[in-house]
Structure 1
Amino acid sequence: MLNIVRSWVEKYFSDEEAVVLFILLIAGLAVVVLIGDLLAPVIASVVLAFILQGLVSKLVARGLNEKVSILAVFILFIGLFFTFLFFLLPLVLGQVTSLVKEFPRMFSELQSYIKLLPQEYPSLLSEASVNNLFNQATSEAAKFGQWVVSLSLESFPVFVMILIYIVLVPILVFFFLKDRTLILNSLAALLPRDKDVMTRVWQEMNMQFANYIRGKVVEILIVGVVTYVAFVVMGLNYAALLGILVGLSVLVPYIGATIVTIPVAMIAFFQWGWGSDFLYLIVVYGIIQALDGNVLVPLLFSEVVNLHPVVIIIAVLFFGGIWGLWGVFFAIPLATLLKAVFTAWPVSK
């Protein structure tokens, strides 16, 4: 047994770079699990700076001075940041408040509709089963109400966290853009001189992360805006809130689109009932999802390494479980990182 373990270690860890790479992976995982929440503003700033760096590089390639390019891109970022903060966020919060106030009416309509089911389908449903369903629904509604009250009472720490993001994130983004080369060189100096494997992994992942993150941001914006416009044109209530939900649903492949369909269908049903307007909206929503999956995703992510759907779902569940929303967002590039590491891992023969 010891000989088997010794031969395995000699085969995969005889190279110094392999040992360092393994330690870095373990350390990175430990940081994410233990203090990932504390570093959330830093991680958000790194992601934003990484996205904006692509625009800076394009401006520099067109002959613009690098410092001027950084300043111009940062000003654009600040404009979009405060537009979201003072226009879009209040609109969404207002629609969330209005939707919460609508819950009692929706629940009452749902009760009226369910009461008719035993009369229309007596062979499938009995009054006893409907009453049992009512009791369960009432209990869940009471729990939801308690959750809303507790959420409002605990809103002060959330408010403080939002203030921290508002102040820290723009400052960190500016310095990550301005001192990008200095930061990367400082980190590279901590690594061994011989880092051929790490260089190959870095080059591949730099391309993969860039393609994925920037592509995913563009996909969220396109899907969210198109959905919002379509819902506004069709007269659906809470179009801004649903547009954001549909846009963010693309973060979770396969699962997100399925989950977000439920609130879209429910709000449309309580607004119009079973009618032509409801069917038209479902058709339009289905077309948007089909265009996203069959046209937009292949166009934006053509250079991203293809992963099997099972691998993607496992990555979303695993990284989402240990890192929350950030883990869901980075599930695919992190899975790609692991694939690149395994491919480039030095093996002694």
Structure 2
Amino acid sequence: MTPSKFPTRAGLLLFYLVLTAAIATGLALFSSASTIIALFRDATAGLLLPLILSLIATFLLEPLVKVIERGGRSRTTSIFVVFFLVAIAMALSALWLAPHWQQMWGSLKTDIPRYTSGLITFLRSAQNDLRQHLPFIDSYDLPARARALAEQLVSQILVQTPRSALRLASLLFIVPLFSFFFLRDGQRIMRAIIALAPNRHFEMAHDLSYGISRQLAHFIRGRILEAFIVGLVVAIGLSFTDIRYAPLLGVFAGVTNLIPYIGPLIGMIPGILIALVDLGLGGEFWWIVTVYFLIAQVIVDGFILIPVLISRVSNLHPLWVILAIIMGGKLYGVLGMIIGVPVASIIKITILEIRHYRRTFTLPEVAGDGERIL
């Protein structure tokens, strides 16, 4: 008799038990991994920003530390000298700027309701003008939406300001502490990490760490310098008009410029709205628009800073930059949008370096009996 081609009941039962056990094991592993990842994210949620700021400070201060170290001082002494100089510079800047910024911030909180009402009036007038040509605009209550958005923004500012002050105080303690250890022991930490790599991958790990460090250093220094120059150009350009809060608008434009593509657009919004409410659609308003779009972004940033400081460093396709910004924003908000591009650049360097070493140093394959194929 020929054996039956259909499985027996015992075989079906065994298959069902194995499949059920496999599914249950997979779900348990997935649940455990998700729980571990969630716990890890909760534990490191407050450390991400201090670590990033500490790394930025490390890359910015490293050249100055090396210059002082060449004068015959020890590494630790050089770091303390740099910290002392930075503390003096920050203290003098704070003493000079504190009265102006305090007065400007108090005036801004008073003027926000006026700017909100002026914006709503302008939107209502614009909607009435467009209603004749675009009837479907009747279904969109632009003034009400603008009022709700403005009220939400004001409430966020009032609620977050004390929290931001407390967080800033903690950062002023944590960031210098982390930066000190990164500057003093950074090379030792990197050597210890590279030493964990197997002998066959040691050279690749060494070159990879060197390439990533150099890429991050150039990228961070370039982006900080770019943001500073753009903010300075905006502040100087706005100072030729009667617009209020020109220094604050310049700082905001410089900080938001750190976010690729959409950051410059966000940085223009407050200045244009304030000019629209205070100055109207006159010559000064169009000069402010020219400062933001043509001078700061097109000429200074597009034609000078990006080709010189950024393009040769990031070397990423615009599509990957957009994806990095979106994914970073989904994970960590504005901070993720800022660090998304350097993280994507590090991933690209890692992939290219591994591919290069696999092609250049191909190791002999191992046959099935354990003998090498020569």
Give the TM-score normalised by structure 1. Answer: 0.77
- In 2, Cα distance between equivalents of 1:255 and 1:120: 29
Task: Compute the displacement of 1:138 (Å).
Answer: 3.9
Name the residue aligned to 1:288.
296
Q: 2:183 aligns with which of 168, 177, 181?
A: 177
> Which moved further from structure 2: 181-190 or 269-278?
181-190
Name the residue aligned to 1:53.
62
Name the residue aligned to 1:309.
318
- In 2, Cα distance between equivalents of 1:81 and 1:188: 36
Q: Deviations over 1:108-161 (max 9, x none)?
A: 3334445545775662367x9399444444444444454445446xx2x44332
Q: Is the contact between residue 325 and residue 336 of structure 2 (CA under 8 Å) also seen in structure 1? A: yes
- In 2, Cα distance between equivalents of 1:302 and 1:131: 41
Name the residue aligned to 2:280.
273
Name the residue aligned to 1:221.
228
Q: Is the contact between residue 319 and residue 327 of structure 1 (CA under 8 Å) also seen in structure 2? A: yes
Q: Map 1:16-35 onto structure 2 (within 5 A).
A: 35=44
SS of the aligned residue for 2:313 comes to: coil
Name the residue aligned to 1:256.
263
Q: Is the contact between residue 118 and residue 125 of structure 1 (CA under 8 Å) also seen in structure 2? A: no
1:166 counterpart = 2:172: yes
- In 1, Cα distance between equivalents of 2:164 and 2:314: 37
Q: Deviations over 1:29-56 (max 9, x none)?
A: 9967861433432332232112211232
Q: Structure 2, unaligned stretches of length 5 or more?
A: 1-35, 366-374
Cα 1:316–1:138 change in 2 (3 A) is: closer
Task: Compute the displacement of 1:258 (Å).
Answer: 1.6
Name the residue aligned to 2:354.
345
Task: Compute the displacement of 1:252 (Å).
Answer: 1.3
- In 2, Cα distance between equivalents of 1:198 and 1:328: 28
Report the residue type matching 1:162 in the other structure. L
Task: Compute the displacement of 1:59 (Å).
Answer: 4.7
Q: Deviations over 1:56-88 (max 9, x none)?
A: 234556x55454543432223223444565555
Report the residue type matching 2:186 in the other structure. R
Q: Is the contact between residue 320 and residue 327 of structure 1 (CA under 8 Å) also seen in structure 2? A: yes
Q: 1:43 aligns with which of 20, 29, 52?
A: 52
Report the residue type matching 1:330 in the other structure. I
Identity of aligned residues (%): 28
- In 2, Cα distance between equivalents of 1:60 and 1:214: 20
Name the residue aligned to 2:368.
none
> Which moved further from structure 2: 116-125 or 193-202?
116-125
> Which moved further from structure 2: 102-111 or 330-339?
102-111
Task: Compute the displacement of 1:313 (Å).
Answer: 1.1
Name the residue aligned to 1:16.
none
Report the residue type matching 2:280 in the other structure. G
1:234 counterpart = 2:241: yes
Task: Compute the displacement of 1:287 (Å).
Answer: 0.9
Cα 1:271–1:33 change in 2 (3 A) is: same
- In 1, Cα distance between equivalents of 2:38 and 2:345: 15
SS of the aligned residue for 1:235 comes to: coil
Q: Is the contact between residue 238 and residue 291 of structure 2 (CA under 8 Å) also seen in structure 1? A: no
- In 1, Cα distance between equivalents of 2:318 and 2:224: 21
- In 2, Cα distance between equivalents of 1:42 and 1:116: 48
SS of the aligned residue for 1:304 comes to: helix
1:329 counterpart = 2:338: yes
- In 2, Cα distance between equivalents of 1:104 and 1:88: 25
1:212 counterpart = 2:219: yes
Q: Is the contact between residue 114 and residue 130 of structure 1 (CA under 8 Å) also seen in structure 2? A: no
Q: Is the contact between residue 223 and residue 258 of structure 2 (CA under 8 Å) also seen in structure 1? A: yes
RMSD: 3.4
Report the residue type matching 1:271 in the other structure. D
Q: Is the contact between residue 45 and residue 172 of structure 1 (CA under 8 Å) also seen in structure 2? A: yes
Task: Compute the displacement of 1:90 (Å).
Answer: 6.7
Aligned residues: 319
Report the residue type matching 2:267 in the other structure. V
Q: Deviations over 1:230-267 (max 9, x none)?
A: 22233321112211111112211111112222212111
> Which moved further from structure 2: 264-273 or 28-37?
28-37
Q: 2:203 aligns with which of 174, 188, 196?
A: 196
SS of the aligned residue for 2:281 comes to: coil
SS of the aligned residue for 2:240 comes to: helix
Q: Is the contact between residue 78 and residue 170 of structure 1 (CA under 8 Å) also seen in structure 2? A: no
SS of the aligned residue for 1:330 comes to: helix
Task: Compute the displacement of 1:103 (Å).
Answer: 2.5
Cα 1:103–1:119 change in 2 (3 A) is: same
- In 1, Cα distance between equivalents of 2:335 and 2:239: 30
Q: Is the contact between residue 216 and residue 251 of structure 1 (CA under 8 Å) also seen in structure 2? A: yes
> Which moved further from structure 2: 246-255 or 180-189?
180-189
Q: Is the contact between residue 279 and residue 285 of structure 2 (CA under 8 Å) also seen in structure 1? A: yes
Give the TM-score normalised by structure 2. Answer: 0.72
- In 2, Cα distance between equivalents of 1:49 and 1:180: 9
Cα 1:65–1:312 change in 2 (3 A) is: same
- In 1, Cα distance between equivalents of 2:55 and 2:114: 44
Report the residue type matching 2:198 in the other structure. P
Larger Rg: 2
